Amino acid sequence: MKSLLLACLILTTSFISYDASAEPYAKADAVAGKALVDANCIHCHAENFGGDGSTIYTREYHKVKTSKGLVAQVRNCNTMLGLKWFEDEELNVAKYLNQTYYKFTE
Ligand code: HEC
């Protein structure tokens, strides 16, 4: 219980101190991005990597290293999967993944 509380505090602090102005998706909508990820992406990551599928972003040797790389990866997935997302949808997804998992500042 105590560790859960601590985790929440750390999470809250990192959100408050989070500066979104420097990224390629500063104006994107992370809430809309989450809905897209939940509907289109998680099932396969969870199947391949177990759990809720999020370990793929947080694993030690994750492939994506920068915000730009993240946008490029989301774009590749979009194209590969034939989702036909518009650019703003790609940016919403990238922002959500960055805020929640990667936390790149540039
Ligand atoms: C059909 C299965 C599948 C679907 C659907 C899928 N992915 Fe993936 N994704 C993978 C696999 C497998 C990897 C790991 C590739 C590797 O390690 O080379 C991956 C890797 C990634 C990574 C890089 C993780 C890292 O190492 O930093 C991101 C970001 C990502 N996917 C985003 C998405 C998004 C966004 C969607 C939804 C549009 C999506 N994926 C849908 C299978 C999938």
Count of the separate structural domains present in the chain: 1
Least confident of 32-36, 46-50, 93-97: 46-50
Q: Is 95 domain-assigned?
A: yes
Is 98 within a domain? yes
Residue 9 within any structural domain of the chain? no
Of how many residues is the chain composed? 106
Q: Is the residue at 31 inside a domain?
A: yes
For ligand 1, the distance from its centroid to the CA atom of residue 5, given in whole angstroms, is 31
Asked if 33 contacts 95 with a C-beta cutoff of 8 angstroms, the reply is yes
CB atoms within 10 A of CB 55: 15
Structural domain harbouring 66: 20-102
Tell me if 10 is assigned to some domain.
no
Nearest to 105 by CA among 32, 8, 14, 28: 14
Pick from 73, 78, 102 the residue to mutate for probing ligand 1's pocket: most ligand atoms within 8 Å of its CB.
Answer: 73
Residues 8 and 2: their CA atoms lie apart, in Å, by 10
CATH number at residue 74: 1.10.760
**What is the model's pTM?**
0.83
How high is the pLDDT of residue 5? 52
At residue 24, the pLDDT reads: 83
